[in-house]
Amino acid sequence: MVERVWDKYLTDQDKEHLAASGHRAKGFGEKPALLMIDLYRWVFGDKPLPLMESIKEWPGSCGLAGWESLPYIQSLLGTAREVGMPVVHVTGLSDSESGVNGWATAHRGSRSGYLGSTTRRPRGPEMFDIVEELAPIEGEAFLRKASPSPFNGTPLLGHLTELGVDTLIVAGESTSGCVRASVVDACASRFKVVVAEECVFDRHEATHAMNLFDMHHKYGDVLPLAEVQEWMHGWQAPEGYGR
């Protein structure tokens, strides 16, 4: 059996229960879209640095985890574009743009120095700029959100419904935060959900692993990127789909 990223965190009882209960894949549907969640400058910083170094200038950084995931996410995005799959990019909505405190500020702003230090990058619209390597191109949807899940307060659901999407392939960050919230809401909205394992990342190794475990066993399928891309290359877009 192939070892999964969460296996080392499971107790003997956990493993016994999983063996007894089994696992059934939810699978793909017929009309997928790629959902790219929060791949903005605030979590990457300007260059690859270990987490504790990177947060000195970019407090929201995920350190090296983001940079290590970047080529995998680029590959997934390239495959989606190659096969003609709709792509939706989601990023944050800054306080100055919305006029209200966004989720990140409301959730973290009370922590001393987390976002307010003058020695760190200022908060503003630029913190939510999607990094150049993953920037949207013409024809791809682009949405801003003020909550962990893009299903809350955005036209995402209406957009997916109009396209007839039944499956979401998910990439982005953080695994334990906005990715999980998006996956749970997508499942609640009756989409099939597939998380490309190498294409999501987090600041903390344990929460990354165990949230992947939860998503895989409750809300969708967490699959290796190679397996996701194999399915994508075999998929045939219905006539007129995504246009």
Q: Which residue stretches of the chain are H helix?
A: 12-21, 41-44, 51-54, 64-83, 95-98, 103-108, 156-163, 180-188, 205-214, 225-234
> Directed axis angle between helix 64-83 and helix 225-234, to 10°?
10
CA–CA separation, 83 and 93 (whole Å): 30
Indicate if 178 belongs to the active site: yes
At position 62, the amino acid (one-letter code) is: C
Q: Count Cβ atoms within 10 A of the Cβ of residue 216 and give its class: 0-12 exposed, 13-18 middle, 19 or more buried.
A: buried
| Catalytic option among 62, 178, 187, 199 | 178
Q: What is the largest CA-CA distance in the chain?
A: 54
CA–CA separation, 7 and 38 (whole Å): 27
The residues annotated with a catalytic role in the active site are: 178
